[in-house]
Structure 1
Amino acid sequence: MSLGAAIAKILVVDDEPDLEALILQKFRRRIREGAVTFLFARDGVDALALLAEHRDVDLVVSDINMPRMDGLSLLAKLQEADEKLSTVIVSAYGDMANIRVAMNRGAFDFLTKPIDFTDFETTVDRTIFHVRAMREVRRRQVEAERAHATLSRYFSPNLAERLAADASSLAPGGHRRDVASLFTDVAGFTSLVESLDPALLAELLNGYLALMTGIVFAHEGTVGKIVGDAIHVLFGAPGDQPDHASRAVACALALDEAAEAQRVRWRERGVDLGATRIGVHAGPAIVGNFGGDRFFDYTAYGDTINTAARLEAANKALGTRICISAAVAERAEGFRGRPIGDLVLRGKAEALRAFEPLSPAVYADPGTTRYGEAFDKLAAGDPAAMPAFASLVGLRADDHLASFHLRRLLNGESGTRIDLRAA
């Protein structure tokens, strides 16, 4: 069996003075070709000293009966190490009792004296092949663990585990997929950065991002990018998620609830953390690892991604915290929400129907029904839309979307088409 191109380093431990010369003679061709190299020690004490200097030894071939430290004692020492060196034990044929003890204590194989060098070479080849196979298994395990640690920053733990085991879907390059794209951004965060102590800012931002990404991962989302306080999340990539729209809506609501609770906690500490604005859109996108092996950047490109980002930004003008497209609402199973209007976003000519998703409790509130009735009047051009929205604002001054429509009507606008290209 060939040892392959890589050189094999073998430590022979034996107190017979002639053995070294015999081995070097028998293996001279392979030594000359650079296939194998030998180290020699007279007993276990010498062997341990050599092993401390030569960490790249592949195999130990050791006699049992030697002065100072015998082969069985050396074997015990080698078995205590973190990386247990494969050991072939050599002894006289009549000493089979000690050979059996050695095999029971972890020796890989054995040879009998007088040594048959054909058998010696075959045993060495077989052992080296085993050693390298085991090292390759360990190398792949370490790579998988390292990949899992890296992937866990972007993907949910379950998905990261699957990708670490088979990361073929993360090969450099992109491919087209149907996804739901979700963007978040904290209102007024730049101003907050300038006013906070760096230590307090680090505590706030680290806690916020840990909370948000934890929720994303709980919904099996993929973190495409984090820039400051802003997060881009993908559903439907890299693995198929037929329910990606439903996951995105559920995730958006959970993010909103957690972010609002976080705002209350920081307000109690005297820090005015802004609202988290969220935009979601669904459709085709080019997704993949565009950075390659050294710089891992699993991300997405295309109009679907741009539209989601602009829906997030639209919240500022609308007074909402979550704004999703009809493409998402139509695909999300059992969607609960209220229509916002037909938005003309920056860079767009066509209007896009947008919705505000609602929690079950808010959706069941009578105010939601009344909003729907007022919106229907707005869509129909009914003059009664203005008093309908005014009545809603009177009942709930914190209904910013109703206030937005009322302001539009008071300013002479009508209908559901909302031009946000200048916003």
Structure 2
Amino acid sequence: MQDHMIGGRYALRREIGHGGMGVVWEAFDQMLRRTVAIKLMAAGDVASDEAQRRFAKEAMTIARVRHEHIVQVHDYGIDQGSPYIVMELLEGEDLESRLARVHQLPPAAVLSLLRQISAGLDAASAAGIVHCDLKPANIFLARSAYGESVKILDFGIGWTLHEGSDDPSVDRYSTRFGTPAYMSPEQVRGAVPHPLTDLWSLGVIVYRALTGQLPFPTGDVRKVIVSICTDPFPTPSSLDVAHPPELDRFFERALAKDRSRRFQSARELASAFAAICDAETRPAKILIVDDEPDVQLLLQLHFRKRTGRAAYELVFANNGQLALDALERHPDIDVVVTDLNMPVMDGLALLERIPEVNPLARTVIVSAYGDMTNIRRAMNRGAFDFLFKPINFEDLEATLAKTLRHVEEHRRKARSNEENDLLRKFTSAALIERLRSLGPAGAAASEALEATVAVVDVNRFTRVAKERPPAEATRVLNANFEVIVPELLAQGGVIDKFIGDAVMAVFHGPDHLDRALHACLSVRAQMETIAKRAGDDSPYAHGVCIGLSTGNVLAAGVGSHACGQLGYTVLGEAVNAAAHLARAALPGEILVDDAVCAGARREIKLEPAGARGVWPRAEPTAVYRVVRSEPAPRSLAELPTVEV
């Protein structure tokens, strides 16, 4: 195909790469007289309407985000029935090739890459785009006259958030199957794509770059899927004693199987990693924001004389906007010392923006004696302290020392919160919620609630427990719970207890029945998806049996003071009915009773399931099974506007 003309404009020169959806060529744009990269759809996919739709969607997805760390699209078209995408031409290598060559990267190099990837991901997330296949092969290290720059490539299986719906059916999301070693637990289950999925993949990339190996073993895809959803990963400090324990805690968050426990933005993840890299060696970093040139000179001269007493690294900016840029470049800044009155962006406006960029940094306001009104406004908006002009250097040093102690204390509290999160794993979520609302003295109090109870039972696990070694049987059960529990929590359910091989969740508050039904449908859909992917011999092949009931329940603290053990749980007919319905259900069934049937919304499709022996020593009872959920019809006002 060399010298072949595409779209009457682009002359192909040489093939430079290929991927799952096409081949990439270097080409010459004869209209603008420049060299470009052009991606052609794979010949075998041209006849597929679905493949053409996805190819066009990739071009539109990338074109929505204009960012220095995302490859830019110049043009899109169709040549003789075959689509093509024209992109900027990059010189360099992808991260996969570099890691194959050097095996590991030093923390400073990883941090440089991480900051750039994070900036690109945050831009994509702000545009409502999830990459869904972030991996080293899709991270390009582009060389230029100004050094090396990261470019994120290949949004071919990307997802835009407006594609989501309330329909948890299997087919809608299960096609987003990326590269298994870098996929998050929710992605391998076929859950709705979410930006935190990309952050998991980024965590895997950082782990591999630092340690030289993947956190979960490669090889058999089915085993990888089970391991991602179930197993812990080797801590970096166990692989190399040079890695500090703080890195272990970093990856506990970055690779948390429950996405709500992960870093909630790429910027937050990069900032946490930067703090670890610099914690033991760097001096405290202070950002000085002032438009008076004399201030910068005076502070530099003063601290140059006092380096023996205070090791500060100073960064300067002339106004609030430049200060935000500096915070982006230096996520490890501890303290911001800012003047109030500046052009472009003043100190008050900057103060409100700082937590968005660096939530750990603390701000000290500098102003004239007569500007007490603005100082009060600044303190009300979160300033930690203030100084007056002309600056007294002793006062400045004392204020910086006090502020830095506060910053360190804040970081210690953050680490304590991580430790508390670990303790919460062994405590009932319902009890924690109760203690928060009423305090310890009210934990044993009782109250009546209108609630829906769901019991999800792992089918035929009793036989597994008899036939397999204890450790293996436990892993099988926990593998199922790692799929089930996140979906119950995502709809606002509270995990009340684990009863043998079943989990019981309680939903209360607004729309509790509707949320419980959607949670159970999502559990079933994801269990079916992961069972297909992991195979008949996987832990997920057993399927789940689900029972659901709704009505009044009694929430109370029960137990014995004599042995010092109390538990907070729910009691009542709905609890018993849900448990018995789960026992009566066949694999893959969601059985409900008359109360659920009467209260369910119209989009929930139910059908009679005949008479089942639900209650012990009682006549069979008529029950219903949940078939599916139909998306709720939307009004014309809610339909998206499409530009033509």
Which structure features the higher share of helix residues? 1
For Structure 1 versus Structure 2, the TM-score category normalised by the shorter chain is: 0.3 to 0.5
Larger Rg: 1
Q: Which has the higher contact order (CA 8 A, sep 6+)?
A: 1
The normalised TM-score by structure 2 is 0.32
The normalised TM-score by structure 1 is 0.46
